[in-house]
């Protein structure tokens, strides 16, 4: 009789069965991650990755929710798929590694450089080096954003001893000691090759 009721429940309410066995669907750069890929990422970062659509920049490791601004860093080797220029639904004219940022994100990046956002093509590498060509002078520049965040203390954050920074605006912290640089948030962390 017990099996009869279980069978009836499954036949009458199949959505409950499918909801229970449906895997955590995570999409990165328009590619659905397989169970092994997802497990590998969760193990590497020690977090359960919520179901959702994300973008990830394989040159810098910068990532965010599809249609949104950057949310943090991960190791670039963990990015899957090709980053779309419209991954963030940006409208600023500021492109970082080919992804157009939104206005708020462009303002944040510009604040690290001590300027207003200037539309253009910029590059960000896995070491935190942000580079491009000055739109006014035509002179190339490169700045380490981890060091810039520590030096300027932007975003209403605090600095301690010049080696730690935490932004109250984003909840993201960064620091360095010796040859090790790191960035950390509430559910992610990234450490550079010198750690």
Tokens of 134: 């000055």
Q: How far apart are CA 41 and CA 31, in angstroms?
A: 14
How far is C-alpha 180 from the chain's CA centre? 20
Alpha helices in the chain (DSSP H): 2-12, 14-21, 35-45, 103-113, 145-152
pLDDT given at position 142: 87
- How many residues belong to the chain? 195
pLDDT of residue 52 exceeding 90, the answer is yes
59-63, 87-91, 140-144: least confident range: 140-144
Confidence of residue 187 (pLDDT cuts 50, 70, 90): low
């Amino acid at each position: 009789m017990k099996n009869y009721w279980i069978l009836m429940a499954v036949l009458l309410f199949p959505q409950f069965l499918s909801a229970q066995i449906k895997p955590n669907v995570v999409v990165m750069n328009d590619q659905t991650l397989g169970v092994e890929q997802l497990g590998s990422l969760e193990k590497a970062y020690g977090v359960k990755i919520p179901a959702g659509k994300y973008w990830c920049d394989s040159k810098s490791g910068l990532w965010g929710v599809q249609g949104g601004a950057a949310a943090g860093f991960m190791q670039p080797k963990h990015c899957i798929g090709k980053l779309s220029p419209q991954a963030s639904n940006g409208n600023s004219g500021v492109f970082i590694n080919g992804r157009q940022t939104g206005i708020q994100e462009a303002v944040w990046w510009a604040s690290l450089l001590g300027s207003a956002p200037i539309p253009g093509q910029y590059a960000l590498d896995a070491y935190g080096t942000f580079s491009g060509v000055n739109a006014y002078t035509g002179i190339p520049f490169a700045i380490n954003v981890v060091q810039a965040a520590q030096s300027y203390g932007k975003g209403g954050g605090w600095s301690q001893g010049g080696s730690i920074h935490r932004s109250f605006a984003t909840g993201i912290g960064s620091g360095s000691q010796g040859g090790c640089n790191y960035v950390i948030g509430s559910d992610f962390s990234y450490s550079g090759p010198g750690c």
